[in-house]
Amino acid sequence: MIRVACAGLITVDLLFDVPGHPAHGSKMRALGSRMTPGGGALIAASAVASLGGQASLAGAVGDDALGDLVRATLAARGVDATLVQSRAGIGTARSAVLIAPDGERTIINHREEVLFEAQMTLPEPFSFDAALADTRWPGGAATLLRAARAAGKPGVLDAEAPVARAAEALAVASHIVFSEQGLRDYAGGSDAAALAMVAARLGCFVAVTRGARPVLCHGRDHGRDHGRDGAFAVDAFPTRAVDTLGAGDVWHAAFALSLAQGQDCRAAVRFANAAAAVRIARPGHFPTVAEVHALLARHGHTAGP
């Protein structure tokens, strides 16, 4: 079984389904609500497990009831929590998430920075087939991606703002995928020109996800260039968005897992696009590999291993 280590933000999310964006100073009754562990790294690890990989999560939670909920959820989802640390006297990071009728989410997060001062200790030798880290925990991301590079394994960085504080991780990642906000934060723009500039600066495969629009990519793909100067785009799959929360995290998980399986970058991006499309069609759903392969097949794409 393919093993993927995911490092970064762990939260507990209180989600509200709302009829619209609340006006300043107003009161609004939610159409529904629920509480669930979240955060980019936890959602990614859960997605890896759902897609048939063996997931390990690295990060930090507080020594509190929310931290206990995180650990219980990871166990239920089959995610290894050996590298999840508990910090005494600190609360687990938490978010309020508003989900509008079109599926778009608004997130308000609170986290103590001391949670991200923890040092990561990895077992030796490096026992994973790929690594995925986010910029919320710069030190942990650098440690994990450096170990992946030394072992000759794919090391994917989920680049969200603020990106520059994760300079060490940027330098050792084999693949860097920005959100539009992350690319604007790092390069001053989120278009193909900004991505090309970043590719030249960092010297690795880079991409930017753009919701329902094609994913823009720049870099060499198993020795092949796609388009001028290695630039290419991969279409997203049309779907009705019900809940976009965690779609990017599922995308990164599917991308890292596909790379670990030996797929080239174009195929890995396509697989990730399909996984994200399955995710947003059902609230809180983690796609299975069968669902992703079925979506690929409906659009005339053959599935990878």
Query: Who's near 74: CB < 8 A, 6+ residues apart?
Result: 37, 42, 45, 46, 57, 80, 81, 84
Domains in the chain, number: 1
Cα–Cα distance between 136 and 162 in angstroms, integer? Answer: 8
Instruction: For residue 56, tell me if it sits in a domain.
Output: yes
Q: Would you say residue 304 has pLDDT above 60?
A: no
* Mean pLDDT for all residues in the chain: 92
> Which of 233, 257, 8, 79 shows the shortest CA–CA distance to 154?
257
Q: Would you say residue 45 has pLDDT above 60?
A: yes
Task: Specify the DSSP class assigned to residue 288.
Answer: P
pLDDT digits (tens, 9 = 90+) for 71-98: 999 999 999 999 999 999 999 999 998 9
CATH number of the domain to which 263 belongs = 3.40.1190.20
Q: Hey, what are 284's tokens?
A: 């809180």
Cα–Cα distance between 191 and 184 in angstroms, integer? Answer: 9
- Enclosing domain of residue 51: 3-19+32-298
Q: Hey, what are 56's tokens?
A: 């390990």
Instruction: For residue 27, tell me if it sits in a domain.
Output: no
The answer to which of 36-40, 102-106, 127-131 has the lowest mean pLDDT is 102-106
The pTM for the full model equals: 0.92
Q: What is the pLDDT of residue 25?
A: 86
Residue with tokens 């010297």, as numbered in its chain: 203
Q: What is the pLDDT of residue 294?
A: 95
Instruction: For residue 274, tell me if it sits in a domain.
Output: yes
Q: Name which residue leads in pLDDT, 171 or 24.
A: 171
